Amino acid sequence: MHVLVTGGAGYIGSHTVLHLLAAGHEVVVVDDFSNARPTVVSRLEELAGQAIPVHSFDVADIDKLDSLVTELAAEGRPVEAVIHFAAFKAVGESVAEPLAYYRNNLGATLAVAEVMVRHAIPHLVFSSSATVYGADAPVPMTEDLPTSATNPYGWTKVMNEQVLRDAAVAHPWLRVALLRYFNPVGAHPSGRIGEDPSEVPNNLMPYIAQVAVGRREQLSVFGDDYDTVDGTGVRDYIHVEDLAAGHLAALEWIAGHDRALSVWNLGTGRGTSVLELVAAFEAASGREIPYQIVERRPGDIASSYADPTRAQTELGWRTVRSVEDMCADTWRWQQANPEGYPA
């Protein structure tokens, strides 16, 4: 299929582009590079062994998006599916700048959905997040749990899911997949692409990797008094390669089935604590990760991990990479790119 990937130069988008190309799909990327370096594209072309068309603009600009879709159809390569990654995703930043988050994250999804309806593009895979399960969800989390949020970023995911649910009801020919990611980590085994936070990493794995490579002094562990195996936060870390494979499986499933809306958790179904991840990274890298226990981070929950049964039974998809693989692949990327992608 001809697939348009918004945010395709980003962390999860770039890894997914490789899986789409390897499966024989044709890809066009739209990215405004507000949270991605242009170098990603040349790395992707090197890994894919082919040129990848990239259009640099804000996907919320509906006129530009409509012009691109019109142009591709005129060239005889009509877009048949969209995978929509493009969004701001920093929880803390969303609390400080909620209007920018609503403008960007809702605007982008509304533009994508409106252009798809105008051009009768039937397949949409949406990048959602386990954050939509809110603060008090029981674990393991199942897709039928109610959704809510505790920060503007999370609300944009909840609201975008509602927008797409309503679009799928109004246009039954539209096939929508909402993919709820747990905690994406890791990197392509080549070490040529990976996670490259533009500022101080908010997330645990990139922070650990930057300590290991010497860019950060020590890790602050946000609390060790949670009701968990060792008191530190437990999360369902999923390798970005498994996550990318999940997108391909979801896209191909909705293209072959008559269901307007599908919701799938993409997680391993297993939880790992902060200190367990630190130990695994030390084993994978051979580097010590100094840390200090500090106070809890506001808004954090004790445990979050998926019940991935529905994706396994419906998509025939399951994660195959271990926490050790996640650490080894992250380390290979970080060692080869201590400062991330070159400017």
CB of 271 to ligand WQD, least distance (A): 10
The first and second tokens of residue 77, run together, are 């390569």
Proportion of the chain in helix, strand, coil states, percent, rounded to 5: 40, 15, 40
Alpha-carbon distances, residue 319 vs 236, 241, 266, 284 (angstroms): 11, 9, 8, 20
Residue nearest to ligand WQD (CB): 233
C-beta neighbour count of 230 within 10 angstroms: 12
CB of 41 to ligand WQD, least distance (A): 23
CB of 259 to ligand WQD, least distance (A): 25
Strand partners, 333: none
**Beta carbon nearer to ligand WQD, 91 or 164:** 91
The first and second tokens of residue 228, run together, are 């968990």
**Beta carbon nearer to ligand WQD, 21 or 281:** 281
Alpha-carbon distances, residue 121 vs 65, 165, 259 (angstroms): 13, 16, 15
Alpha-carbon distances, residue 155 vs 59, 103, 107, 149, 187 (angstroms): 20, 12, 14, 5, 28
C-beta neighbour count of 148 within 10 angstroms: 15
**Beta carbon nearer to ligand WQD, 54 or 179:** 179
CB of 131 to ligand WQD, least distance (A): 4
**Beta carbon nearer to ligand WQD, 52 or 240:** 240
CB of 267 to ligand WQD, least distance (A): 11
- The span from the CA of 91 to the CA of 95, in Å, is 7
- The span from the CA of 216 to the CA of 46, in Å, is 30
| Beta strands at 54-55 and 81-84: parallel, antiparallel or unpaired | unpaired
Residues that bind ligand WQD (CB under 6 A): 89, 91, 129, 131, 183, 202-204, 207, 219-222, 233, 235, 274, 297, 300
The first and second tokens of residue 146, run together, are 């109610």
Catalytic residue among 11, 101, 153, 237: 153
By the 8 A CB rule, do 321 and 242 touch? Answer: yes
CB of 217 to ligand WQD, least distance (A): 12
**Beta carbon nearer to ligand WQD, 183 or 319:** 183
Q: Is 153 labeled as catalytic in the residue annotation?
A: yes
Alpha-carbon distances, residue 76 vs 115, 202, 272, 281 (angstroms): 18, 43, 48, 48
**Beta carbon nearer to ligand WQD, 75 or 295:** 295
Q: Please identify every residue annotated as catalytic.
A: 153
